Amino acid sequence: MTLLRSLIAALLLLTAQALVAAPPEPFAIAGQRIAPGTRADVRIIVPAGRDGETFIPLTVIHGTEPGPVLAMVAGVHGFEFASILAAERLAERVDPARIKGTLVIVRVANIPAFEGRSPNVNPVDRKNLNRVFPGDPGGTQTQRIADRIAREVVAHSSFLMDVHSGDGAEFLEAFVGAYGGPLATDFPLALRVAQGFGFPNIVRYSMETQAQIDRGRSLNRQGVAMGKPTILVEIGQNGSREEAHVAAIVAGVENALSILGMIDARLRDPASPARLFDGTTAVSASHAGLYHPVDPRPRPVARGELLGIIRDYTGREVERLVSPVDGYALYGITGPPVAAGDDVVTIAVPTTGF
């Protein structure tokens, strides 16, 4: 009996060792298999459909040991350059011989918008990629891009990081949004990764209803829908390409690799404790015309405070926009162009804790 027990114990130990020592598998994505310990450039082809073929350039850094799959997506909006430059830098810096798991870097999610220097929308079909997830393989080009990203990138990831800036003619103060609430996965992990960026603001987006996830679904809400811990990273404004913003994203992603246990590195301490917000509320325009903001900068605003006016093309005032809450104007448009339905200012709602 003792001998049998010893034999079983020895067998179990051998099995455990075999599991640990098992050579890691290649990483499969977009029809390619990437060998452990290597870096590979992958091009996801978005088939021609009714309005032309395009592609999504990725770099996959596949480690020598198993671990999480972090997807860092840049350039969902092709005029938000800090993320795209950070993706380029990370693709060179992260060493496949030194990571556990896999880093999937989408260098530019929206190539037609990037090459077309087009804020907000893909110039081919005038759609906002960040409103059409999960996409449609039979839809227009933007919907087909979303479909490829959802199936090839989000589906293969275990943590999703969607990186943006203030777009053209937008102001923005750096923040990280972490997805929480009953319909999100692992908010505590998302919050830790968010804090690792050291940005001055953190917003919890609490997902309480399916409608919140589905309405004009963004890439980050696609991550939530697919059960991935997800953060939204926002830094830079008005089509800028400042080195400090690029460096801040690179540092945040490297801290994320550490927090997720993918590299052995000491975490850099965040510069300052972040202001915490529980969700945001957007003030929308009902008229098109010329928007005249009172002060198009990030700042505290009070309930009832005038944010700006809209004049029509005869110069007549047609709308006054006021803040519905006490909060912090985190981002918004600087104008002057405004269309009916545009979110003019997005106000984060302060909280003392999560």
Nearer to Zn ion, 77 or 107 (CB): 77
Nearer to Zn ion, 88 or 326 (CB): 88
Please, what is the minimum distance in Å from the beta carbon of residue 297 to Zn ion?
Answer: 19
Angle at the Cα of 171 (from 168 to 177), degrees rounded to 5?
A: 105
CB of 346 to Zn ion, least distance (A): 12
Which positions touch Zn ion (CB under 5 A)? Answer: 77, 80, 164
Q: How far is the CB of 261 from Zn ion (least distance, A)?
A: 29
* In the complex, least distance from residue 163 CB atom to Zn ion, rounded to whole angstroms: 9
Q: How far is the CB of 164 from Zn ion (least distance, A)?
A: 3
Cα 199 to Cα 206, 234, 281, 298, 336: the distances in Å are: 20, 9, 20, 14, 29
CB of 32: closest distance to Zn ion in angstroms? 28
- Closer CB to Zn ion, residue 124 or residue 318? 124
206: left (phi over 0), alpha (psi -120 to 50) or beta: beta
For 42, the enclosing helix (H) or strand (E) is strand 38-46
Using alpha carbons only, give the angle 73, 342, 222 rounded to the nearest 5 degrees.
Answer: 30
**Nearest in space to 68 (alpha carbons), one of 261, 266, 264, 265:** 261
CB of 322 to Zn ion, least distance (A): 26
- Token digits of residue 273: 């404790």
Contact 334, 293 (CB under 8 A): yes
Nearer to Zn ion, 29 or 154 (CB): 154
Task: Identify which of residues 109 and 283 has a Cβ nearer to Zn ion in the complex.
Answer: 109
- Closer residue to Zn ion in complex, CB, 101/112: 112
Tally the C-alpha atoms within 13 A of residue 116's C-alpha that lie toward its C-beta: 15
Closer by beta carbon to Zn ion, 177 or else 279: 177
Q: Is there a contact between 231 and 191 (Cβ–Cβ < 8 Å)?
A: no
Q: Which is nearer to Zn ion, 102 or 143 (CB)?
A: 143
Phi, psi of 179 (to 5 degrees): -85, 125
Kindly report the CA angle at 313 between 311 and 319, in degrees rounded to 5? 20
For residue 8, what is the enclosing H or E element?
helix 2-21
